Amino acid sequence: MSQQTTSAEPESRSRFTLPSAYTILFALIVLMAIATWIIPAGAYQLDKEGAPVPGTYKEVPGTPQRILIDSLTAPINGLYGIENSKGNISYYNDGTLFGAIDVALFIIVIGGFLGVTMATGAIQAGIGALVKRLQGRERWMIPILMIVFALGGSTYGMAEESLAFYSLVIAVMIAAGYDALTGAAILLLGCGIGTLGSTINPFATGIASGFAGVSISDGFLSRLIILIVGLGLGIFFVMRYAARVKRDPTTSVVHNMFEANQEHFGMQRGEEAAEVTMTTRDKLILTVFGLSFVIMMYGVIPWEDMNIGLPTLWWWFPEMTALFILMSVIIGLIGRLSEIDLTDAFVTGARDLLGVALIIGIARGITVIMQNGGVTDTVLHWAEEAVNGLGPVAFVIVVFLLFLPLSFLIPSSSGLATVSMPIMAPLAAFVGVEANLIVTAFQSASGLMNLFIPTSAVVMGGLAIARVPYGTYLRWVWPLLAMLAGLSIVVLGAGALLA
């Protein structure tokens, strides 16, 4: 692994690197605190459901925020729901607590759940057994594995976890006559397109839906269309390239590294594939793993509101968090992990996603500053005027385009959702666009950008393992990115038109 990373270092050193998401978000908190001294405070009248009424905005006396103290306490208050330094508690218009501690805790527990599952080796064994079974028919690994990884991306935001499979998949692809980029694309585009078309991904769809005030099931059909069609485009794109490379290896975009890659990855393939076995225990663990997300999806869907004769559980983050704690224990017991191994795996997995939980608190701090400074409704009013006259279709497309640069600055989907949804969701109501379309626009734009932006650890880490230069990958993948952007716009426009 160290050799793979080293090979990519010269290019990395010569490229400008953006600050981390933490720095960017905290800088936005400070800028927003400064803005409360400049932007006039204002407020909308609210309807019976607590939503702002268009055209009722009025200026009110402002409460400018202290640049240093309030900026430092805003992330803490964003997590706990404390409105200001006096200890007043802030609530959403529907009466629920303003803080994001429930979302952050859910993410930490999801990390523990994934950590326990990975510690059993079931996921690795499942992928490895598939690779072994398809030896000699590696061409079919491209669609099969891309579908498998896309399901991971769509259901729980599989991203960093995929880095564990790069060496194995790339080695098999090279041994079958393809190249390192083919193997890397299977994982990078498979997981990435799955995330772009997230269906019940708690890190993108779940958090955005929560802050938008809609169920995670709202807009499911639109997201499913993006997932299926987008994945079809990705599979076609990769398979066409792979077939061309196999016919003529000189057409590989990394042909100059072909022999070096054969030597580097060739030994790993035989050693790893020979050791892969899929036991009954692994199959049971994977069944429970998938069942966890099925139960979560059932629990959050409002069956009664959809006039479907199934009992509605009305679950939200506390219940979902409890579910994954329980499933972590069950999977650990099935995997015969000792008490120490189970807890260590859970804590290690939770630690891996602690940064995401912290990002949510920092991002929520921006909303705290805006709320306490009285400028949230003012910004909403400006946006209302900016889109005045735009129809629903034009509005949702503009929102999608707006999320593209925001996703570059804030590559964390959870952080971006926390910052943007409290403003964008109410704004959608002003022009007659359903909030779930804003969620879809956000996750599509974020997913698209995270297929190639250099601020993505998955993109840069995966390419480093595959020893594919970033610029080479970018030149290769841009036609697919254009197709995926067009697909997202068409689906969003159709959704707004038919709503």
Residue 454 lies in a domain: yes
Give the pLDDT confidence of 360-389 residue by residue, as tens digits.
Answer: 778 778 878 888 888 878 876 787 777 777
What CA–CA distance (Å, rounded) separates 308 from 69? 51
Total domain count for the chain? 1
Residue 319 lies in a domain: yes
Going 456 to 146 to 168 to 283, the CA torsion angle's sign is positive
Residue 73 lies in a domain: no
Question: What are the strands, taking DSSP E only, across 198-265?
Answer: none
**CA angle at residue 325 from 323 to 328, to 5 degrees?**
110
Residue 62 lies in a domain: no
Q: Which residue has 């949510």 as its token pair?
A: 360
What CA–CA distance (Å, rounded) separates 438 from 453? 22
What band does 99 get if pLDDT is binned at 50, 70 and 90? low
Residue 163 lies in a domain: yes
Look up the domain containing 232 and give its range.
94-364+374-498
Residues 6+ positions from 418 with CB-CB distance below 8 Å:
100, 103, 207, 211, 359, 360, 363, 364, 367
**Residue 92 pLDDT > 80:** no
Residue among 417, 209, 418 nearest 316 (CA)? 209
What percent of the chain is predicted at pLDDT more than 90?
29
Enter the pTM of the model: 0.66
**Residue 332 pLDDT > 90:** yes
Question: What are the strands, taking DSSP E only, across 382-441?
Answer: none
Tokens coding 301: 């869907």
Burial of 248 (0-12, 13-18, 19+ CB in 10 A): exposed
Residue 128 one-letter amino acid: G
Residue 212 one-letter amino acid: A
Residue 272 lies in a domain: yes
36-45, 118-127, 490-499, range with the lowest pLDDT: 118-127
Listed as own residue / partner, the contacts of 471-474 with beta carbons closer than 8 Å and 24 or more positions apart are 471/11, 472/181, 472/253, 472/254, 473/181, 473/184
